[in-house]
Structure 1
Amino acid sequence: MLPDGYSDVPQGKLAAVVTHLQMFARPAPRAAALPGAELVAHAEPDPEWYRALFTRIGRDWLWFSRLGMDDAALRAILHDPQVAVFSLRRAGEDLGLLELDFRIAGECELAYFGLAAELQGQGAGRWLMEEALTRAWAAPITRLHVHTCTLDSPAALAFYIRSGFTPYRRQVEIADDPRLTGDLPREAAPQVPIL
């Protein structure tokens, strides 16, 4: 437990406040259209393809958790039959990532959800969330959960709440800065200074 007041973060590390959210029933569907978009399932995605899309979407938000994994560890997750990976494809280009993790019986984690910068502000997030909710709640689950953090898009938390999730837990995560480990380029996420 962190004490009240300021706590030092070691050099080379990042600190983020993580908010966990959940829902226990499918919210009423919301109208969402994204002309020319399709959701493509990837049963056994290639780690190189996955990392490239993960980085394209998450580099500005310092997504790093999957970048330091070797191919075997990443394949073990992505090729698990209880993990569903989708891309939002438009004009032949993968511009969004949706990953649903059903490995805990009766639950689904919205493990990754994101869009390339060029899709933001076009209703793509709502469209992709409706696809996520439809697929998650089609399974026999009683709980869908997700987490976001202060390194993520400033709009993420409010978006999840508008989508029907309720916050239930807050944590602080401290991790190596992926720009210093080489997992992301030093110029990634310029809004977060490197210390």
Structure 2
Amino acid sequence: MTQNDQLRAEELTLLTRLLHGESAAFSEFYRRYQRLVASCIRKVFYKWTFDFTEDEIDDMISTVFLSFLQDDYKKLRMFDPGRGYRLSTWVGIITTNATVDHIRKNARPTVSLDDTERKVAQPRSMMASPVENAEREEESRLLMAAIATLSPGDREFLELAYDAQLAPEEIGVRLGLNINTVYSKKNKILHKLMDAVAELSTVRLKR
């Protein structure tokens, strides 16, 4: 068994314990993924040059973990290990999406470092409506299905970026790529995901 296989097995064991209501499982889940969640939150805040405090980081961490508890662990029950990626990848992506959503719900202007277009978030209620919750659930399902369409190499790249939280330079060393290729590959993978989500959405609408 490879180290990656062992980590997958450990994650699935923890997830099973958590979904079966074992009292100590959520504390262990929090300890295991707290650094990952915090790192994803910081990366999004920095990317959008979002002016934040440490208290806001802590609040966002709590918000993310509470979202995993909601509706009998609905977001965690949506995770499908058969799709070829690890639970930590799913946790990282959910955290990233939740943080972007948080930024968009606040009135402070933000600028994405990925492009020069200024994006101003519009103030909205922090309490999601039933329609918004349904939309997010559908987005999560589509995202999981989209990840499954990626090649093993692209999924490995996502695992290095989200699970291992490696810097671009470290990913380059692992995969034998120069830094420009790492950034280019990341953008291509994200575009593949967006295209796959769009295609899957179209297919579902036609049903």
Common fold: TM-score over 0.5: no
Q: TM-score, normalised to structure 2's length? A: 0.30
Q: TM-score, normalised to structure 1's length? A: 0.31
| Larger RCO, structure (CA 8 Å, separation 6 or more) | 1
Higher relative helix content: 2
